[in-house]
Homo-oligomer: A and B are copies of this chain.
Amino acid sequence: MTVERVGFIGLGIMGGPMAANLVRAGFAVTVWNRTAAKAEPLAELGAAVASSPAGVAERSEVTFTCVTASRDVEEVVLGPGGIAEGARPGSIVVDCSTVAPATARLLHARLAERGVGFLDAPVSGGDVGAKAGTLAVMVGGEPEVFDRALPALRAIGKTVVHVGPPGAGQVVKLCNQVAGGLHLLAMAEAISLCRRSGVDPGKMLEVVSAGAAGSWMLQQLGPRAVAGDFAPGFMVDLMQKDLGLVLEAAHETHTPLPGTALVRQLFEMLQARGRGRDGTQAIVEALRLLAGG
């Protein structure tokens, strides 16, 4: 029995285009958003609009959530008028927010009590990937639940990987942010050393990106960073939210991550200067400031 009716809660920069892709893929989509106006474009595309998360869940075999913080997803799932009140046994909740692995495990357990499946399915790829339907989706949860939800997941992402049990999706997303944060620092330190040594950083990026010290960040964001283009793909404020989750999760298992702890301190420099809404490539500015501008 394939999934036909899908819900979507949280129609922001990421969630809006993801919901639209589900409509376009032919699913019968019901949506809800805290600020109701954001549901209008979806309604125009043909989505139904419910008056509460519970109302979405009542009509859906798979209900997606895509909100900001742990407490937001807890509220739309477990709060008054939340998904848990409307979801039928056998239905599935898929949370695409980036939240603590512990939150994912809690939601999985609480929904399991009602016979409702849960997948933590954070995504990577930014608003560009959300629009294009090319997100990477890292999914934690039970294999059979994953299999049932897969057709809907394929409508929002190009790479959809089941990475382990409940919470594992969030763990992998946090690992992604650990690597991404340190790659940004790598880019910034390489550019700073290059500039202060009087060498053209564009030439450096060209050679270094092509070899064993290459990375997506260096290749894609390096040229923007050198050009002083700090328009956000992914904002510093959101990176700091995620690095906060990383260090909390690492503290739970007492896993030292000295590099990530340092990256977080360097992004504080940007936030302290009111640049939290710049793109993460603005970390080159932190290194520039260290070196005296």
For this complex, into which size category does the number of interface residues on chain A fall? 35 or more
Task: Point out the residue from B164, B172, B179, B204 that lies within 8 Å of A163, measured CB to CB.
Answer: B204
Question: Which 9 A-B residue pairings sit nearest by Cβ, starting from the closest?
Answer: A182-B186, A215-B215, A254-B272, A180-B213, A272-B292, A179-B213, A175-B190, A254-B271, A256-B290
- Other-chain residue from B125, B136, B212, B264 in contact with A126 (beta carbon distance below 8 A): B212
Contacts of A212 in B (CB 8 A): 124-126, 180, 216-217, 220, 234
Determine the residue in chain B with the shortest Cβ distance to A195: B255
Give the interface SS of chain A, mostly helix, strand, loop or mixed. Answer: helix
Is A35 an interface residue when CB atoms closer than 8 A count as contact? no
A: residues with CB less than 8 A from B are: 101, 124-126, 136, 138, 159, 161, 163-164, 167-168, 171-172, 174-183, 185-187, 189-194, 196-200, 203-204, 206-208, 210-218, 220, 234, 240, 244, 246, 249-251, 253-266, 268-269, 271-273, 287, 289-292
Residue of B nearest to A134 (CB): B211
B291 to A254, Cβ gap below 8 A? yes
